[in-house]
Amino acid sequence: MEKMTQKNHTPRFLWILFLCFFFPVLCPGCLVAPPHESLQHSCGPYPDNYVAIVEDYLREYLDHPDSIKDFEVIKKPEIVILDTRYPTIRLHKGFEVWEFFIAYDAKNDKGNYVGRDLHVAWIRHNRLVAFDYKDLDLEYRVKERIENPGY
Amino acid sequence: MIARIMRSFLILWMIICLSGCSSVLTYYAPLKSKMVDGEKRIGERRSYEYSSSSGHSNKIYFEKKPLCGESVMKMRYAQKELRCFSCALFELIFYGLGLFDMLTAYTIVEDSKKIEPLAEYDTGKLVVCGPVEPAADEVVVINNPKTGMQRIATTDSSGVIDLDQILSDLKDTAFLKIHLKSDPGRTFDYFYKPTRQASYSHKRE
């Protein structure tokens, strides 16, 4: 009789364990969905204000943003399909990005001009997502999200 | 008992070694992109770099070097990252299988290498793109700051101006400031001493 009681209690114990540990872990993942745009393969509408977007980023990123000279758009935004995944940027193979090239010269932290160089920028859904194939600073991303909540 | 555990451990480790940790992880790694400079190209002539030299006879020689714009082809260089290389080193200790793993991982990295041109852009640098030649038919501005005198002269086909001819009316020495009209930023000082006066004074002595 005692053995029977023990057998009946075991599944209930497992359910309690599941509710106590697994449910609180899985629940936030179901309720708090990631931003809609990051899951889409498409890159959104043509970014008309792409120069303003990248200038805004350079103001945050450069040591001497006022020192920018010889700024030029080398290639206007064109859709590019990614050939690999970028884990740090959270982009996957097959995703589309608006890719454009800019060139400029600016002063480094020591106050010297480093020489004019070409840079690659990617925009998705009117948001700068990568610069020179690298992830953007967290500080900029937070600021940008606050100013432009998007989806 | 200990022998059995050791044997099980070594068999397990051999299976791990055979799996090729480094190779597998490298194979599934994404491409990592970076930007590199490709071929440099010298564009059209943009300006000249002028230089001058003077002899004892109040003749000034002007020379010029052609300067051209430099453009560079920017390339995207992408390849897989070598992963878990230390695993292969560890595998090497036991059966020497690590060597195979390392070679496979390196081959995967080499095979994944992808270089594609992005765009050619102007670096803004000026490079010398031709031999030094005489600065012929260039307008030269000669100033005497003390008296406010200004003379304009033109270099001959050899890039020479003769100050004795241009300043024939000047009898005394003078500190002159000379520059080319096309290169006003490069002004140089010249102490002018009339040649005839010099020879004359020599005679008097």
In DSSP notation, B150-191 reads EEEEE--TTSEEEHHHHTTT--S-EEEEEEETTEEEEEEEEE
Confidence (pLDDT) at B20: 72
Closest to A5 measured CA to CA, from A13, A18, A16: A13
B47 vs B49: CA distance, rounded Å: 7
Which residues of chain A approach chain B closer than 8 Å at the C-beta?
A: 70, 72, 74-75, 83-87, 93, 101, 103, 105, 115-120, 132-133
Question: Quick one: pLDDT band at residue B198, thresholds 50, 70, 90?
Answer: very low
Chain A residues closer than 8 Å to B123 by CB: 115-117
How confident is the model over A119-123, as a mean pLDDT?
95
Chain B residues closer than 8 Å to A82 by CB: none
Instruction: Report the residue of chain B nearest A102, measured CA to CA.
Output: B121
Nearest-CA distance from B125 to chain A in Å? 8
Confidence (pLDDT) at A20: 75
Specify which residues B67 forms β-bridges with.
Answer: B47, B128
B34 part of contact set with chain A, CB < 8 Å? yes
B50 vs B152: CA distance, rounded Å: 18
Residues B88-120: tens digit of each pLDDT = 777 777 667 778 888 888 999 999 999 999 999
Chain A residues closer than 8 Å to B119 by CB: 74-75, 101, 118
Residue in A74, A93, A133 nearest the CB of B121: A74
Burial pattern B143-168, b for ≥16 Cβ within 10 A else e, equals bbeeeeeebebebeeebbbebbebbe
When comparing pLDDT for B10 and A86, which is higher?
A86
Confidence (pLDDT) at B53: 85
Confidence (pLDDT) at A77: 95
Given a cut of 90, is residue A89 above it in pLDDT? no
Hey, of A72, A88, A102, A116, which one would you mutate to test binding to chain B, going by the most B CBs within 10 A of its CB?
Answer: A116
Confidence (pLDDT) at A24: 64
Confidence (pLDDT) at B119: 93
Confidence (pLDDT) at A27: 59
What percentage of chain A exceeds 90 in pLDDT? 42
Confidence (pLDDT) at B118: 94
Confidence (pLDDT) at A49: 92
Confidence (pLDDT) at A25: 65
B74 part of contact set with chain A, CB < 8 Å? yes
CB contact under 8 A, A84 and B78: yes
**ipTM score of the complex?**
0.71
B126 part of contact set with chain A, CB < 8 Å? no
Residue in A86, A87, A118 nearest the CB of B118: A118
B163: its two tokens: 């100050």
Amino acid, single-letter form, for residue A150: G
Residues A28-56: tens digit of each pLDDT = 555 555 556 777 888 889 999 999 999 99
Under a CB-based contact definition with an 8 Å cutoff, are residues B171 and B197 in contact? yes
Residues B112-157: tens digit of each pLDDT = 999 999 999 999 889 999 899 988 888 989 888 888 888 888 988 8
Size of interface A-B (CB pairs under 8 A): 48
Longest Cα–Cα distance of chain B, Å, equals 120
B93 part of contact set with chain A, CB < 8 Å? no
Confidence (pLDDT) at A74: 94
B175 vs A65: CA distance, rounded Å: 45
Question: Quick one: pLDDT band at residue A6, thresholds 50, 70, 90?
Answer: low
Residues B60-92: tens digit of each pLDDT = 898 999 999 999 999 999 999 888 887 777 777
Given a cut of 60, is residue B180 above it in pLDDT? yes
Confidence (pLDDT) at B204: 31
How confident is the model over B6-29, as a mean pLDDT?
80
Specify which residues B75 forms β-bridges with.
Answer: B36, B117
Q: Round the average pLDDT of chain B to a whole number and report it.
A: 84
CB contact under 8 A, A115 and B124: yes
Residue in B30, B34, B119 nearest the CB of A118: B119
How confident is the model over A49-65, as a mean pLDDT?
92
